[in-house]
Amino acid sequence: MNELAIIADDLTGATDSGVQFARRGFDTQVVLHAEEVSAIGRNSEIICWIRTAGRLPQARPTSGPGSPRSKSRG
Protein backbone atom coordinates (compact mmCIF):
# COMPACT_ATOMS: atom_id res chain seq x y z
CA MET A 1 0.00 0.00 0.00
CA ASN A 2 2.67 2.53 -0.98
CA GLU A 3 1.36 6.05 -0.83
CA LEU A 4 4.50 7.99 -1.65
CA ALA A 5 8.00 7.38 -2.98
CA ILE A 6 10.77 9.87 -2.30
CA ILE A 7 13.86 9.71 -4.49
CA ALA A 8 16.73 11.42 -2.67
CA ASP A 9 20.22 12.15 -3.95
CA ASP A 10 22.00 11.10 -0.75
CA LEU A 11 21.55 9.33 2.59
CA THR A 12 20.98 12.57 4.49
CA GLY A 13 18.21 13.66 2.14
CA ALA A 14 16.48 10.27 2.34
CA THR A 15 16.62 10.03 6.11
CA ASP A 16 15.72 13.68 6.73
CA SER A 17 12.67 13.28 4.51
CA GLY A 18 11.71 9.90 5.90
CA VAL A 19 11.92 10.90 9.54
CA GLN A 20 9.42 13.71 8.98
CA PHE A 21 6.81 11.21 7.79
CA ALA A 22 7.72 8.65 10.48
CA ARG A 23 7.22 11.29 13.21
CA ARG A 24 3.70 11.79 11.91
CA GLY A 25 2.90 8.10 12.17
CA PHE A 26 3.51 6.91 8.60
CA ASP A 27 5.17 3.52 8.12
CA THR A 28 8.40 4.68 6.44
CA GLN A 29 11.30 2.73 4.90
CA VAL A 30 14.64 4.03 3.62
CA VAL A 31 16.18 1.79 0.95
CA LEU A 32 19.68 1.88 -0.47
CA HIS A 33 19.18 -0.27 -3.55
CA ALA A 34 16.32 -0.65 -6.01
CA GLU A 35 16.12 -4.38 -5.30
CA GLU A 36 15.11 -3.60 -1.71
CA VAL A 37 11.92 -1.88 -2.86
CA SER A 38 10.45 -5.16 -4.07
CA ALA A 39 11.79 -6.98 -0.99
CA ILE A 40 9.81 -4.80 1.43
CA GLY A 41 6.71 -5.28 -0.66
CA ARG A 42 3.89 -2.80 -0.55
CA ASN A 43 3.54 -2.69 3.22
CA SER A 44 5.16 0.70 3.75
CA GLU A 45 3.28 3.91 3.19
CA ILE A 46 6.43 5.92 2.43
CA ILE A 47 9.57 4.67 0.68
CA CYS A 48 12.69 6.85 0.58
CA TRP A 49 15.17 5.63 -2.02
CA ILE A 50 18.71 6.91 -2.31
CA ARG A 51 19.21 7.44 -6.04
CA THR A 52 23.01 7.39 -6.08
CA ALA A 53 23.09 4.10 -4.17
CA GLY A 54 20.87 2.56 -6.85
CA ARG A 55 23.53 3.30 -9.48
CA LEU A 56 21.32 5.28 -11.79
CA PRO A 57 23.25 7.31 -14.33
CA GLN A 58 23.79 10.94 -13.47
CA ALA A 59 21.60 13.37 -15.36
CA ARG A 60 23.48 15.57 -17.82
CA PRO A 61 23.15 19.28 -17.15
CA THR A 62 21.11 21.16 -19.73
CA SER A 63 22.88 24.44 -19.05
CA GLY A 64 26.04 25.64 -17.37
CA PRO A 65 29.52 24.08 -17.32
CA GLY A 66 29.65 20.60 -18.82
CA SER A 67 26.44 20.92 -20.76
CA PRO A 68 26.24 20.49 -24.52
CA ARG A 69 25.11 24.11 -24.83
CA SER A 70 28.20 25.47 -23.03
CA LYS A 71 30.55 24.38 -25.83
CA SER A 72 31.38 27.12 -28.25
CA ARG A 73 29.94 26.84 -31.71
CA GLY A 74 32.31 27.48 -34.50
Q: What is the pLDDT of residues 33-58, one digit of tens each?
A: 777 777 776 678 888 888 775 454 55
Strand runs labelled E in the chain: 4-8, 28-31, 46-50
Handedness of CA 9, 14, 55, 37 (dihedral sign): negative
Least confident interval from 5-9, 24-28, 53-57? 53-57
For the chain, percent of residues with pLDDT exceeding 90: 24
Using 50, 70 and 90 to split pLDDT, how confident is the model at 65?
low
**Cα 24 from Cα 30, distance rounded (Å):** 16
Question: Quick one: average pLDDT of 55-64?
Answer: 57
**For residues 56-65, average pLDDT:** 58
Q: Is 50 exposed, middle or buried (0-12, 13-18, 19+ CB in 10 A)?
A: buried
Q: Is 49 or 69 the better-scoring residue by pLDDT?
A: 49
